[in-house]
Amino acid sequence: MDNEVRQENTPTTRQDKQRLRRRSFRRAVPFFTTMALVTVIAWLLPLRPRVSDAEKRELTAFPAFSVRTLFDGSYFKDIDAWFSDTFTFRDQWIGAAQDFKGLYGMKTVAIYGDAAVSDAVPATVPTPAPRPTLAPATAAPAAAETTAPTEEPVTEPEEPAEPEWGGEEIGEDDFVGLGKVLQIGDAAYKITVFVQSNADKFAALMGKAAEKLDGRSQVYCLVVPENTTAMVRAEDRLKYGCVLEEDVLAYMYSQMDPRVIAVDPIPELVAHNNEYIAFRTDHHWTAVGAYYAYVAWCKEAGVEPVPLSEYEEVEWPGFLGTYYYKANQNNLMGRNPDTVFAYVPPGDVHMYLDFNVSADLGKEYDLLFDMSKASAGGKYSTFLGSDRAKVTFVNNDITDGSACLVLKTSFGNPFVYYLTQHYQYVYVLDIRYTNSLSLERCMNTFEFDDILFVLGTGAAESRGGVELVDWFINRRK
Amino acid sequence: MVFSSLTFLYAFLPLNLLAYALCKSLRAKNICLLVFSLAFYAWGEPKYVLLLMGMALFDWYFALGIERTDKSSKAARKMWVVLACIVNLGLIGLFKYGKMFASVFGAPPAFIQNITLPLGISFYTFQLLSYVIDVYRGEAPAQQKYWHVLLFAALFHQCIAGPIIRYKTLEHELFVERDGRGEIEKGCFRFCLGLAKKVILANACGALADSLLLSESALSDTAMLSANIQTLSGTSVLGLWVGLLVSVIQVYFDFSAYSDMAIGMGLMMGLHYPENFNYPYLAKSAGEYWRRWHMTLGQWFRDYLYYPLTLGPALKVRKFFTKKYSRKTGLFMQTLFTMVVIWSCTGLWHGASWSFVLWGLYWCLFMLLEQMFFQRWLEKLPGVFGHIYLMLLLVFSRVIFRFGDVKYSLAVLRGMFGANGNPFLDFSTSTLLKNNLFILLFCAVAVTPLIRRIAEWLWQKASGHAGAERAMGALSYGVVPVGLLLLSTAALVGASYNPFLYYRF
């Protein structure tokens, strides 16, 4: 029989039985002692964690009692969830389990989650209609002194020279994982996907926005690629089942109304992928990555970018982002956390936060939030103090009343700081927190010359993201 | 509550063991066990604890009725058994199969739609039925005390996932004398072994199977039907085969782990439960497999369905066909009738849907084919062919068992032979395989008795050498169980993936 364990002969006398019982109990002491010790530790309630830094969430709370939950069984299930989720020394247990799971297979390979199903990217519709000549946005005062303004309006992006590759070089023995998250060494990336129906709808919505704002404001669209696109070679991405986002952006932009100025940040990002443009443990780009997207925007907007060296650098080390958790708190990443670098814009720039989207500025805060005491997973919140409904930047060095309205997801957080050098007012609305808002209401509330959509491909191509944009653009009040 | 939950390991079980150890008399120990058993059941299904208590009450009463009826009045005694069958099967029919049967006649009424499956109803119903029938057959005395019957049915070690224990097997140890031979350490060892089997091996296999074949929750989402079919159709040939094989292994580890833990806890308290598995994947035929798999269920069907059928309705079938055609036809029809009934019931026991009936009939077909043709050939061929044959049967049975919707099954069946245009091997599958290579190899070893044989060999070598014996004892009863307990705990902390497959039965 399975694991049959009987070995002793059947005892015959009472003394035999007592002797065997004593020996048996003696042998079981390590088990009972361990169980008792862990039980005591588990019930030291003050030691139980309430928040997981790595997972960026509050852990399950002890459930509130009610007769209904008692009888439907959910009360006890919730206690189980609380007991397990807040187990004493949780992170150490999880770390030990991860170390053990490392023995499950060959160390070069790991899988996290299921890869999503993707559509094939259609061949790009060639030659979009020529864009109108642009009236340049306000030139940056700081840049104006050092750089001669461009005389000719920018109509065609420069042909990028073959850049020196600075992204991932994947060797035979490197740790490579696949799933929703692709892990290469101590860095993780998303498996990029494409859903054509959502992409088409998003492109159409941008056209709708341009139509509504025709003659009033210029619409810019900046779709932020996943870090994968800038950091992993195309042949490797194809091998891992990624969709090439270069093709996705080319397709999506080719479908847009010519009145929309589409900003493709990929060439700039790839050209600088030897710099710290992407976090290794988080899905966001770094402020440096955002800067190169800003450079791409400047080219399209016909303005000179302010060199990054003119910004004051602030750093928050010890950042472990979303991919660290998605990769089951992988030790390769855990031992080598990211650093969040942030850049304070030059000039007399002020930042105001408002929980309501109104014409009021709201309360003034420091341009960057202090993250020295923040959790390992929370340091990206230095930008705008995390995702807020409305943030307003005012640059008192610019007095022409120029304004830009930015509709963004969290990718836009480090990006918007650079816009302060070109507009007196930068209104930043988070598309996920402004469901009471519409484009029409914005048009009535704010005066703005330009409107810029800054969304990750994940939002621009997901049903939820597109629905939010749809809601914003098509709502009538 | 499940055994492989932290609440059980570090709240319920320590309290239970402590309270049990403090009780001196057998009666006190049993009261302690009953209180904890009801609490255990209520933790998972508060409202259905009344159903469990009610069914135990009925069966206690029916058994007493049988015993108090004069043995000469067979009809009256039979009436009590029939009554017990009607009540027990009626209740399981309502709570487990109500929706399935009602849907034959259209949309089930709301009160049936709202019924959720009571935990372990298939297990404790069979135990209670066996009790009444054993009393009827004179194989066991009727229990005078209601709470004793309730304890027998509700005993938390085996109430919700077996082994299915007959009353006469447990009666002496439970109510008369608990054997104190001192097998506590073996109980601890067995419990930890079962826990690790479930938490480490079964869950690892389950996660891999879900990655390759989609998870149960994804498959049950009807809105995702076409997307799921697209995913399954695109899975590589090797991915589907490995996914199904791993799923086969998962089921074994999952279920046998629960039996191990039940047997282990029983040993800690001096209760000896029957073995439920005997390395089923070492079998070389469907017949042998079912003699090694979930043995207590097989024995139950043999004792309470097969024998009565063979001697009753099946005999009439045989006589009818013998008279009309030939003796050989009569014998064949008797076997066919019995097998179809038994395997339909076995399928239904495993799940309330017609696909489970199909699954039962699938096994029935191969058992019949074996009896008529294969067995002779299989015996003549080298053993490896028998193993391959059984593995193929198991893999294809998983296609029926795992995918409720026939569209999924067909997509997978086509994909297994590359008929979906799917590749033989893709990057995703090869990555997953490399990712789990060592644990899969270990699982392949762990379904055989190899590790146990090595342990026995080491014990044999150590025998007679005091130092070596002590070292083996420390290893077997200290390092291994403690190590497995701690590893399992680590795996459980914060883990969301921890389903118990046999919970649904």
- Cβ(A308)–Cβ(A161) below 8 Å: no
**Alpha-carbon gap, residue B394 to B204, rounded angstroms:** 19
Domain ranges of chain A: 14-91, 111-474
Q: Which segment, A81-90, A289-298, B178-187, is predicted with the most confidence on average?
A: A289-298
Min Cα separation B308/chain A (Å): 28
| Contact state of B188 with A94 under an 8 Å Cβ cutoff | no
Query: Taking the CA of residue B277 as centre, how many other CA atoms within 13 Å lie in the half-sphere pointing to its CB?
Result: 24
Residue carrying the six token digits 């082994």 = B163
CA distance B498 to B5: 8
Q: Do B181 and A42 touch (CB under 8 A)?
A: no
Q: Among B10, B187, B227, whose Cβ lies nearest the Cβ of A117? A: B227
Q: Hey, are the CB atoms on A38 and B489 less than 8 Å from each other? A: yes
pLDDT value for B355:
82
pLDDT 10s digits, A40-79: 999 998 888 887 765 666 788 898 888 888 888 888 888 9
Nearest-by-Cβ selection for A30 from B6, B482, B495: B482
Chain B closest-CA separation from residue A39 CA (Å): 5
Chain A contact probe: residue of B197, B431, B437 with most A CBs at under 10 A: B431
Which residues of chain A lie closer than 8 angstroms to B180, CB-CB?
17, 21
> Does position B174 have pLDDT exceeding 80, yes or no?
yes
Nearest residue to B208 (alpha-carbon basis) of B267, B171, B238, B250 = B250
Query: A90 pLDDT band (50/70/90 cuts)?
Result: confident
Residue B454: predicted pLDDT: 93
pLDDT of B447 strictly over 90: yes
**Rounded-to-integer distance, Cα A67 and Cα A79, Å:** 15
Q: Find the mean pLDDT for residues B400-408.
A: 83
- pLDDT score, position B20: 92
> Quick check: A93 and B493 CB within 8 A?
yes
Mean pLDDT confidence for A227-240: 86
Q: How far is B69 from chain A (nearest CA, A)?
A: 40
- Token pair 């109430």 is found at B159
pLDDT of res. A153: 41
* Residue A87 to residue B437, Cβ atoms within 8 A: no
B370 and B343 in contact (C-beta within 8 Å)?
no
CB contact under 8 A, B275 and A24: no
- Chain B residues in contact with A43 by the CB 8 A cut-off are 10-11
Q: What is the DSSP string of A109-136?
A: EEEESPPPP-PPPPPPPP-PPPPPPPPP
Percent of chain B with pLDDT over 70: 97
Residue B14 has pLDDT above 90, yes or no: yes
Backbone angles phi, psi at B325, to 5 degrees: -120, -90
Cβ-based contacts of A71 with chain B (< 8 Å): 46-47
CB-based contact B481 A31, cutoff 8 Å: yes
Choose, out of B16, B47, B185, B212, the residue to mutate when testing the contact with A (most A CBs < 10 Å).
B185
Note whether A35 contacts B: Cβ–Cβ < 8 A: yes
Measured in angstroms, the CA of B88 and the nearest CA of chain A are apart by 24
**Distance between terminal CA atoms of chain A?**
73
Interface test with A, best of B43, B50, B184 (most A CBs within 10 A): B184
The answer to whether the complex's ipTM is over 0.90 is no
pLDDT at B404: 73
Cβ-nearest to B278 among A2, A28, A114: A2
Determine the Cα–Cα distance for residues B331 and B69; give it in Å rounded to an integer: 37
Number of Cβ pairs closer than 8 Å across A and B?
A: 198
Interface test with A, best of B3, B272, B457, B493 (most A CBs within 10 A): B493
CA trace torsion A374, A378, A381, A382 (10° rounding): 40
**Is the pLDDT reported for residue B444 higher than 70?**
yes
Distance from CA of B101 to the nearest CA of A (A): 25
Contact call for residues A205 and A466 (beta carbons, < 8 A): yes
Mean pLDDT of B406-428: 87
Average pLDDT over residues A194-218: 90
Whole-angstrom distance, CA of residue B382 vs CA of residue B378: 8
Contacts of A5 in chain B (CB under 8 A): 183, 186, 189-190, 267
Q: Is the confidence at residue B464, as pLDDT, over 80? A: yes
Task: Enter the DSSP assignment of A160.
Answer: P
Q: How far is B246 from chain A (nearest CA, A)?
A: 14
Q: Can you tell me the mean pLDDT for A224-239? A: 88
Contact between chains at A100 and B491 (C-beta distance less than 8 A): yes
Instruction: Report phi then psi at A358, rounded to 5.
Output: -145, 180
Q: What is the mean pLDDT of residues B372-401?
A: 87
Out of A396-400, A454-458, A472-476, B71-75, give the one with best mean pLDDT.
Answer: A396-400
- CB-closest option in B42, B190, B485 to A35: B485
Q: Which two tokens stand for residue B260?
A: 């191990």
Closest partner residue to A241 among B186, B428, B492, by Cβ?
Answer: B428
Residue A160 has pLDDT above 50, yes or no: no
The confidence score (pLDDT) of residue A145 equals 38
Confirm if A305 and A418 have CB atoms less than 8 A apart.
Answer: yes
Tell me which residues of chain A, numbers 166 to 225, contact chain B at a CB-CB cutoff of 8 Å.
176-179
Write down the pLDDT at residue B495. Answer: 65
Kindly indicate the confidence band of residue A164, based on its pLDDT and cuts at 50, 70 and 90.
low
Average pLDDT over residues B99-123: 82
What is the rounded distance in angstroms from the CA atom of residue A292 to the CA atom of residue A270? Answer: 10
Residue among B14, B452, B491 minimizing CB distance to A97: B491
Q: Of all residues in chain B, what percent are helix, strand and coil, respectively (each to 5)?
A: 80, 0, 20
pLDDT greater at residue A419 or residue A148? A419
Nearest CA among B48, B50, B262 for reference residue B155:
B262
Under the banding of pLDDT at 50, 70 and 90, the label for residue B99 is: confident
Which chain A residue shows the shortest CA-CA distance from B47? Answer: A71
Contact: A30, B431; criterion CB under 8 Å: no
**Counting beta carbons within 10 angstroms of the beta carbon of residue A190, is it exposed (0 to 12), middle (13 to 18) or buried (19 or more)?**
buried
Cis ω on the peptide bond leading into residue B163 (within 30° of 0)?
Answer: yes
Summarised one tens digit per residue, pLDDT across range A459-471 is 777 777 888 888 8
Chain B: closest CA distance from residue A120 (Å):
14
The pLDDT value recorded for residue A107 is: 52
From residue A351, alpha-carbon distances to A286, A346, B180, B432 in Å are 20, 13, 76, 48
Whether the per-residue pLDDT at A126 is higher than 60: the answer is no
Instruction: List the single range of A141-145, A201-205, B32-36, B288-292 with lowest mean pLDDT.
Output: A141-145
Residue B381 above 50 pLDDT? yes
CB-CB under 8 Å, A7 with B185: no
Nearest to A116 by CA among B406, B350, B228, B254: B228
pLDDT value for A203 = 93
Would you call A240 an interface residue with chain B, using a CB distance cutoff of 8 Å?
yes
Which residues, 6+ apart, have CB-to-CB distance to A217 below 8 Å?
A405, A448, A449, A450, A451
Mark yes or no for CB contact B438/A115 under 8 Å. Answer: no
Give, for A84, the enclosing helix (H) or strand (E). Answer: helix A74-85
User: What distance in Å separates the CA atoms of residue B194 and residue B222, rounded to the nearest whole number?
Assistant: 35
Residue in B45, B186, B479 closest to A73 by CB: B45
Express each pLDDT in B124-144 by its tens digit.
999 999 999 999 988 889 999
Cβ-Cβ contacts under 8 Å for A9 (sequence gap 6 or more): none
pLDDT at residue number B502: 46
CB count within 10 Å of CB B437 equals 14
Pairing of strands A312-319, A338-344: antiparallel
Contact A145, A209 (CB under 8 A): no
Would you tell me how many other CB atoms lie within 10 Å of the CB of residue A317?
Answer: 13
Helix axes B203-213, B237-268, angle to 10 degrees: 160
Rg (CA), chain A: 28
- Asked if B227 and A117 touch (Cβ cutoff 8 Å), the reply is yes
Residue B146 pLDDT > 90: yes
Tell me if B14 and A83 make a contact (CB, 8 A cut-off): no
Give the model confidence (pLDDT) of B273-296 as tens digits: 999 999 999 999 998 999 999 999
Residue of B nearest to A85 (CA): B494
Chain B: give the shortest CA distance to residue A77, in Å. 7
Average pLDDT over every residue of A124-143: 44
Can you give the pLDDT at residue A393? Answer: 94
- Asked if the Cβ–Cβ distance from B439 to A240 is below 8 Å, we say no
Note the Cα A201 to chain centre separation in Å. Answer: 23
Whole-angstrom CA distances from B94 to A94, A214, B51, B124, B377 are 43, 66, 12, 15, 44
Min mean pLDDT across A355-359, B181-185, B367-371 is at A355-359
pLDDT band at A113 (very low <50, low <70, confident <90, very high): low
pLDDT at A266 over 50: yes
**Would you place residue A11 in the very low, low, confident or very high pLDDT band (cuts 50, 70, 90)?**
low
Lowest-pLDDT choice from A122-136, A403-417, B44-58, B281-295: A122-136
Q: Do A111 and B435 touch (CB under 8 A)?
A: yes
